[in-house]
Amino acid sequence: MQNVQLLHGYHLYWPELDIDLEIDNLENPEKYTLKSKAKSIITSKIRKRSLIQQ
């Protein structure tokens, strides 16, 4: 990793990748569960299609 900036003493920033990350996320990952909206978006599209076909 190169060109990582520490901002405000608790915030990491990688400008080339446009990534922001708080140090607490790395120290306590169990507090931050990963969530994806992809499944809910796909499910809602399928439901809309089934309603249209009826």
pTM of the model: 0.51
Tens digit of each residue's pLDDT (9 = 90 or more) over 12-53: 999 999 999 999 999 999 998 887 666 666 666 666 666 666
The number of folded domains in the chain is 1
Listing DSSP states for 11-40 in one string gives EEEETTTTEEEEHHHHH-GGGS----SHHH
Q: What angle do CA 20, 23, 24 make, to 5 degrees?
A: 115
- Is the pLDDT confidence value at 54 over 60? no
pLDDT band with cut points at 50, 70 and 90 for residue 2: confident
Q: Domain limits at 41?
A: 5-53
